[in-house]
Amino acid sequence: MPAQAAPGEIWGKVSMQGSIVDTACAIDTGSYEQSIDMGILPIGLLRQVGHGPVQPFSIALIGCKLTPHDGDNWQTFSVTFDGPANGEWFTVSGAAKGVALSLQDASGQTVQPGLATSKQDIKPGDHVLNYGLRLVSDETPLRPGEYQTAIRFKLDYY
């Protein structure tokens, strides 16, 4: 940037940051941060059935490869979901009470907070991991209202 700007010139600055990692797969940018709309659920349905419908979401892995930059080849990976939890459910905050979120894998099995999923084989190319979230009654008194939570995920390679 010149020491003095000429009349009529406007200067700006663009900053950026990033990192380089050695992983078997990259996470597609559309999967990196997601917002899942759980919809509106009548409290009577929660009282009667104990849960709402499953809201699907997916994590797209792109450019998977088996050979790291340095070291042994990767063979498998697992996913760990983490966030505020109480046992096998993710807790929520907000005005709604008596509810939590259950996370399920593609086969309908519960994915417990903080525990790695079963190892899956890494195959070269792109892959989609499918999951679902379900609002469940946590056996405490129900109170209607809005709720929210944040669930993080990480992939570990072996």
CATH number of the domain where residue 52 is located = 2.60.40.1090
- From first to last of its 158 residues, the chain has per-residue pLDDT tens of 455 666 778 888 888 887 776 778 899 999 989 999 999 999 999 999 999 999 999 999 999 988 766 667 788 999 999 999 999 999 999 999 999 999 999 999 999 999 999 999 998 999 999 999 999 999 899 999 999 999 999 999 88
Number of domains in the chain: 1
Q: Is 47 inside a domain boundary?
A: yes
Q: Is 6 inside a domain boundary?
A: no
Handedness of CA 65, 115, 138, 109 (dihedral sign): positive
Q: Is 44 inside a domain boundary?
A: yes
Range of the domain at 70: 26-157
Strands of 53-111 (E only): list them.
55-64, 76-82, 85-86, 89-91, 93-94, 99-105
